[in-house]
Structures are given as structure tokens and as C-alpha cells.
């Protein structure tokens, strides 16, 4: 499991005062980017130095309660499954409610596939990605 901690910012909420639902997806992708960077292979490096990318073929989120600007959140991500050319991450988003307590505010899933950047063709998951995912 990988944990990523951050704070909800003003611009992530919408006019209803709560975090806009699409931004939860940004949040779990941020967590994945930080995980990859922690393992020496952030998205910036992949784009500069590799010939594959890891686009999503599926994303889903169940929302349990709202997030507000200033809320301290933790994203907990883990690899649910790895196939030949794809992997599934599951994500829990937790909100701090004081005294080291937290509650789950959303549960999501993202499915990433490895694709040759120029040809746009699906390829087997690069070995380095498998190794890094095994550390999550």
C-alpha cells in the first residue's frame, strides 16, 4: 500500500462549497504520480525517457461524503491486480477528523494499460513497471 497525504485547496471545490467530483480522480492520480516518483520513475521521466505511456482505460469512484477546502486527506492506493498489459489500482480517500482519526470519504479504482507512445499499440507491461508495482 502507498499513502499520499495532501490538503484540499480552494480551487478544487466548486460553487457548492465541496470538492468537485472529477477532482477526486486527479487526487488519486497525484498519489500514483508521487508513488512512481518515490520509486525513481515519475511521469515526467517516463515522458522524457521511455517509449511507453500508461493511459487509463477505466476509472470509477464511489463518494461517501464531501470534502471541503482545508480538509487533510490521505489517499491509500494498492495494486489490486496485474495482467499482461494492464494493472488495476484501488484507492481509498480518507479525511482526517482529528486525534489521528479518519473516515473514508471515497473509494475508487483506476485501470492503466501500457501503450507504445508513438504507435499507440498495447504492449506488455514493462519489466520496470512490474517491479515498481510489486513494491506498492
**What are the residues binding its own copies (CB under 8 A)?**
7-11, 13-18, 20-23, 25-26, 29-30, 33-34, 37, 42-45, 47-48, 53, 55-63, 66, 68-71, 110, 117, 120
**What's the rounded Cα separation, in Å, for the pair 71 and 123?**
39
Distance (Å) of CA 134 to CA 34, 114, 118, 130: 16, 16, 27, 6
Minimum gap (Å) between residue 88 Cβ and its own copies: 13
Minimum gap (Å) between residue 74 Cβ and its own copies: 17
**What's the rounded Cα separation, in Å, for the pair 57 and 53?**
12
Minimum gap (Å) between residue 79 Cβ and its own copies: 18
Amino acid at each position: 500500500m502507498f499513502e499520499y497525504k495532501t490538503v484540499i485547496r480552494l480551487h478544487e471545490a466548486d460553487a457548492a462549497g465541496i470538492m468537485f467530483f472529477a477532482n477526486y480522480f486527479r487526487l488519486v492520480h497525484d498519489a500514483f504520480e508521487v508513488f512512481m516518483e518515490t520509486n525513481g520513475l515519475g511521469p515526467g521521466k517516463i515522458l522524457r525517457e521511455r517509449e511507453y505511456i500508461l493511459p487509463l482505460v477505466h476509472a470509477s469512484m464511489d463518494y461517501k461524503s464531501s470534502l471541503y477546502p482545508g480538509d487533510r486527506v490521505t489517499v491509500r492506493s494498492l495494486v489490486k491486480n496485474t495482467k499482461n498489459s494492464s494493472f488495476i489500482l484501488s484507492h481509498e480517500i480518507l479525511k482526517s477528523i482529528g486525534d489521528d482519526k479518519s473516515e473514508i470519504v471515497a473509494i475508487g479504482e483506476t485501470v492503466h494499460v501500457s501503450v507504445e507512445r508513438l504507435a499507440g499499440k498495447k504492449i506488455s507491461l514493462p519489466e520496470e513497471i512490474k517491479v515498481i508495482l510489486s513494491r506498492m
